């Protein structure tokens, strides 16, 4: 039997407040709702779903993905716009990395237009709300399957 795909889904600062945080931008679903969407979209894949408000913890978790994860999905939230440390940690990975945003940062304030994560990512999904997480899991599964 083929190996069970393992996908790590990491979420950065303030995403613990989804559902109550600026719902006109980020929607009404909570992070727990979104985790359920990921599990469903994974269809049997192992989904390791985590959130932290701390940059160093995200770095630790990215490093952890070096062992055992087949793909990484990261919503870096605001740290995507500020963190060279996240970029450097992602560059140590040899698995597919999907950068994910609920909103479309390119269509928002200028300070959201640059991402330190994009240049270390395989691809970017942005602007599709909670549905973006399902799209990211599907993309991750395809990338895992297509890998030599």
Catalytic site residues?
A: 26, 101
Tell me if 98 contacts ligand DQA by CB under 6 A: no
Tell me if 37 contacts ligand DQA by CB under 6 A: no
Shortest approach of ligand DQA to residue 44 CB, angstroms? 26
Shortest approach of ligand DQA to residue 45 CB, angstroms? 22
Residues 6+ apart with CB under 8 A from 16: 31, 51, 53
- 68, 45, 66: which is closest to 134 by C-alpha? 45
Which of residues 58, 61, 75, 137 is near ligand DQA by CB under 6 A?
75
Tell me if 77 contacts ligand DQA by CB under 6 A: yes
Q: Which is nearer to ligand DQA, 37 or 112 (CB)?
A: 112
> Which residue is it, tokens 């993309």?
139
Tell me if 17 contacts ligand DQA by CB under 6 A: no
For 133, list phi and psi in degrees, rounded to 5.
-65, -40
- 78, 126, 57, 79: which is closest to 98 by C-alpha? 126
Alpha helices (H) in 16-92, listed in sequence order = 23-26, 31-42, 55-64, 84-90
Tell me if 95 contacts ligand DQA by CB under 6 A: no
Binding site for ligand DQA (CB under 6 A): 14, 75, 77-78, 101-103, 105, 112
């Amino acid at each position: 039997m083929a190996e069970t795909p393992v996908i790590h889904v990491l979420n950065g600062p303030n995403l613990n407040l989804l559902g109550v945080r600026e719902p006109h931008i980020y929607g009404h679903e909570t992070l727990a709702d979104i985790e359920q969407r990921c599990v469903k979209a994974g269809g049997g894949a192992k989904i390791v779903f985590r959130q932290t408000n701390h940059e160093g913890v995200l770095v630790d978790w990215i490093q952890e993905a070096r062992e055992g994860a087949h793909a990484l999905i990261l919503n870096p939230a605001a740290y995507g716009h500020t963190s060279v440390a996240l970029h450097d940690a992602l560059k140590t990975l040899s698995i597919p990395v999907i950068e994910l945003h609920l909103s479309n940062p390119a269509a928002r304030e200028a300070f959201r237009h640059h991402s330190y994560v994009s240049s270390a990512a395989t691809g970017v999904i942005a602007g599709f709300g909670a549905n973006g997480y399902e799209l990211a899991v599907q993309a991750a599964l395809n990338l895992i399957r297509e890998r030599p």
